[in-house]
Structure 1
Amino acid sequence: MGVSLELKSNTDQSENEKSKKCEDKEKCETYGLGFRHVQVLLIFLCLTIAYAQRVNMSVAIVAITDRNNTNPDFPEYIWDEGQKAMILSSFFWGYVVTQIPGGQLAKRVGGKIMLLFAISLCSLLNLLTPLFASFGFQAIVGLRVVQGLCQGCIFPSTHTLLAKWAPPSERGTIGTYCYSGAQFGTVVMLAISGVLASSAMGWPSIFYISGVAGIVWSIIWMFYGSSSPADSRDKISVEERHFIESSLSEHTTGDARVVETPWKQIFTSPAVISLVIAHSAHNWGFWTLLTEIPSYMKSILHFNIKQNALLSALPYFVMMCISFLLSPFADWLTNRRILKVEFSRKLFNTIGLWLPAAALIGLSYVTSEEQSSLAVTLVTLAVGINAATYLGFQINHIDLSPNHSGTLMGITNMSANIMSIIAPLLVGEIVSNPDDPVQWRIIFYIAAAVYFFGNLQFIIFGKANTQPWNDTEAHRKRNDNLEGAENPAVEY
């Protein structure tokens, strides 16, 4: 017993001595590679798998309904354009429902549990997709709705995790690296789907591979994922933990779970309303392109499914590369005080929405396969430069309220993904003849207009400072007292 108490005393003394390093502000501004980067990698892989499972239907539906361009040994199902549009949008019917509950649950039970639940169940449903297809398109619609319900928890949970793991000085970089997993998953799935559909395994392998990948990730996440530095005492170093917690303490409570959600202030906040509109505008254009590029390339540019899949993936590969280049640059600009955070958010959001809007207008006048190179260039620009929004509205939730960032993401993502439902359905209504370039022109013009006005209002009304309703004064004082009593050597 005496040895045990002595060891504990030495450990506490060691932790307090190490924590003193964080009393020097300059030493707290940076910290090398650590356990937070393990979390970044795992979240990156999580979003890779989530988006692979989300977009696999965009290419698979071409193979499922046309065996002539794929392995003819597998079933072909005849679905009209309206049914295809319903299948492509049905994921979002469920997706919007669990956004706000997902943010609230992530705050209460932790982002780790929510991500584990979402990916494991969604992966199981991916494995069952070929079976459900044999029951008719209504069965596929139902399955995709349930998958959407599962994945609705992912973005709010990710934001909840980032609010705990990403120091303000690294917020843009860490957030971008995590969310670039969405582009990586899109690239991989769009690139390999055509090859898989034409292989000996046929189109069902598109769903089997993404399902197995999700199961494997879930097992790894179970052992190495963590909701916060405080939950990782046996894995994270004392120095890194205090670096993260001390840099975040200015904007967060000791435990955000004890802070009640200020619903009225959130829903009446001009900054939040502006964020909702910006997020919705982004999703309209992004998902119009993501779900319809394969059909556009097949009908207007006459690419076969292998060419279609590879060229459909190219814009998202470019988007991922641009995000890796922009994020350290943006953090460098703000950390060196060259740009204020709010100006930086609006600048990069403008680059990410207005340049794609111009590219979409140009794309609307590409009307034949002779102009296929120009079309691919414009699509790549329209999607690729969209990466700048990860340094704009995408990370703005944590700027406004670290304590409620998951709930804010749930609110904005719910609203934004209503656009993800409407956009494919609108395409199904307007594009009655997929070979008519004029009908596609209308679609691209609408997306460009939504991009333009969505960003314009963000420039006018958007904010990047922590909002007063992030925390109550009573909670702040109570947590300060608790932290001072528990860790007298640490200045938070």
Structure 2
Amino acid sequence: MAVIQKHGKNYSPDLVCHKENHPSDKIGVPGCHKRWPEHTTWSRPVARVWTVVLLLGTCLLYCARVAMPICAVSMAEQFSWSKRESGMVLGSFFWGYCFTQVFGGYVSDRVGGEKVLLLSAAAWGSMTAFTPILAHFCSQPILSMTLARFLMGLLQAHVMHITSLTLVIGGAGSLMLDLYGWESVFYVSGLLSVLWAYCMWKYLLKGEGPIITLESLGSGGPQSKLSKRHWLRLLKQPAVCAVIVTHLCTASTFFTLLSWLPTFFKDTFPDAKGWVFNVIPWLVAIPSSLFSGCLSDHLISQGFDTASVRKLMQFFSMGVSSVFTLLLCGNTTFPWAVAFVSATMGLTTFSHSGVSVNVQDLAPSCAGALFGVMNTCGAFSGVLMVYFSGYLIEATGSWATVFALITTVNLLGLCTFLAFAEARRVDIDSSKIRHHNIHI
């Protein structure tokens, strides 16, 4: 998140431009300085280049992230893992993920997001490519896989994921898994990530950096706009607490579904094609996410209260989606199971227009830092939910308990959001603004 916000503002070597007499750079931008000017914007060609580069990089990041869930069944069969052990491996990613959320944003603010992104991409790509080697040459594959997943989360935590990219990754990963074995998924995604990092370093950063020193971490970059006292006051606001709790619930249920759905389909429908259940739900999620954004913008432009619109979007995301999640508890055929999962994942994306953007309504002056706190809490709950789900499956032998748990957590988050969420600014003195908030 911090990486994209930094680039979206005004910073990056060879990217921000001044209308002075300087030679053009290699991507057609005249007169670019390697300084941090206060009020500059990207030219349209530069913005397009970096948009494509970051989109591709995020795709590769998510490819590496979902490699383990896609291959979990095959690896569990080969290494004789129980459901609880599979849950430990899948959940270990989120331990690393939650540890470096805030730190990654801090380092990005101090030394530049592109340096952090470059280092982490090279590191997570290398770790992904070496994962099969660790699994085959270590005497305890369960320990090596747990460590590898932890480091993957540690290296990826500062980059925002894009849900819709799972469409491409799910299909390609499933085909590679069926044709060439689970090792190929890790090799391809890891090596492509390293190649992407090299191309970014060579052609966009012109072979410079990344050089991160202790001095650069301690100086430079924008300072926080809020003091510790103001942060404490902010976190005491019921609306802020509601956003954190709701995001925690949303993230934990999403991470659980993301981690365990491939295993659910393989266990319940062993003859089903992997590319079907790894692609169709995300094929529904893409237009659903876009539709929710257009719908929320339209409602707000028509004069509906912002808080009411946020709550409506979250009701679809956590309330209506839970209905389809509960339908998975019964005996269903494969087509109906795919339909229910597709509806669940599609409706879940409505949170992109609910709690995910509500943080910007509440505290635009520190939305990035607050979102980092939310993601940290969500990742930590993801650890517990993913592992506990594996324990439930092993203890009860039923997937219904997992889906019931997901529904319970969703309803808890939804009730919290409906009761306490607002859309007025709480990071400034409320007496300075006028805002009428209508609750539903």
For 2:284, which of 318, 323, 333 is the aligned residue? 318
Q: What SS is found at the alignment partner of 1:468? A: coil
User: Does the Cα contact within 8 Å between 1:90 and 1:421 map onto a contact in 2?
Assistant: yes
- Corresponding residue number in structure 1 for 2:196: 217
Q: Give % identity.
A: 23
For 2:342, which of 373, 380, 383 is the aligned residue? 380
The whole-number CA distance in structure 2 between the counterparts of 1:258 and 1:208 is 40
Matches within 5 A, 1:4-403: 8=20, 36=47, 38-66=49-77, 76-134=78-136, 135=138, 136-155=141-160, 181-184=162-165, 186-199=166-179, 201-222=180-201, 224=204, 256-257=222-223, 259-260=225-226, 262=228, 263-304=231-272, 307-334=273-300, 336-365=301-330, 367=331, 371-403=333-365
RMSD between superposed Cα atoms in Å: 3.1
How much does 1:149 deviate? 0.7
The whole-number CA distance in structure 2 between the counterparts of 1:451 and 1:34 is 42
How much does 1:93 deviate? 1.2
Cα deviations by residue, 1:427-472 (Å, 9 ceiling, x for unpaired) = 22211278x4xx21121112112112202211221233333359xx
Cα deviations by residue, 1:467-489 (Å, 9 ceiling, x for unpaired) = 3359xx9xxxxxxxxxxxxxxxx
How much does 1:131 deviate? 0.8
Matched, 1:423 2:396: no
The whole-number CA distance in structure 2 between the counterparts of 1:111 and 1:464 is 29
Return 5+ residue gaps in structure 2 as ranges: 1-18, 22-42, 206-220, 433-440
How much does 1:82 deviate? 2.1
Cα deviations by residue, 1:283-310 (Å, 9 ceiling, x for unpaired) = 2221221111112112222334xx1343
How much does 1:412 deviate? 0.7
Return 5+ residue gaps in structure 1 as ranges: 1-6, 10-31, 67-75, 156-178, 226-254, 474-492
User: Does the Cα contact within 8 Å between 1:107 and 1:406 map onto a contact in 2?
Assistant: no
- Corresponding residue number in structure 1 for 2:406: 447
The whole-number CA distance in structure 1 between the counterparts of 2:107 and 2:147 is 24
User: Does the Cα contact within 8 Å between 2:76 and 2:86 map onto a contact in 1?
Assistant: no
TM-score under structure 1 normalisation? 0.69
Q: What SS is found at the alignment partner of 2:314? A: helix
**Per residue, is there more helix in 1 or in 2?**
1
Aligned-partner residue type, residue 340 of structure 2 = L
How much does 1:219 deviate? 4.0
How much does 1:332 deviate? 3.9
The whole-number CA distance in structure 2 between the counterparts of 1:122 and 1:423 is 24
Does 395-404 or 268-277 show the bigger shift?
A: 395-404
* Greater RCO structure (CA 8 Å; 6+ sep): 1
The whole-number CA distance in structure 2 between the counterparts of 1:50 and 1:266 is 33
Cα deviations by residue, 1:173-228 (Å, 9 ceiling, x for unpaired) = xxxxxx5x3321x22222222321232x4321101221123223334544559xxx
The whole-number CA distance in structure 1 between the counterparts of 2:358 and 2:48 is 21
TM-score under structure 2 normalisation? 0.77
Shift in alpha-carbon separation, 1:35–1:325, aligned structure 2, 3 A: farther
Shift in alpha-carbon separation, 1:385–1:221, aligned structure 2, 3 A: farther
User: Does the Cα contact within 8 Å between 2:67 and 2:185 map onto a contact in 1?
Assistant: yes
Shift in alpha-carbon separation, 1:110–1:442, aligned structure 2, 3 A: same
Aligned-partner residue type, residue 163 of structure 2 = A
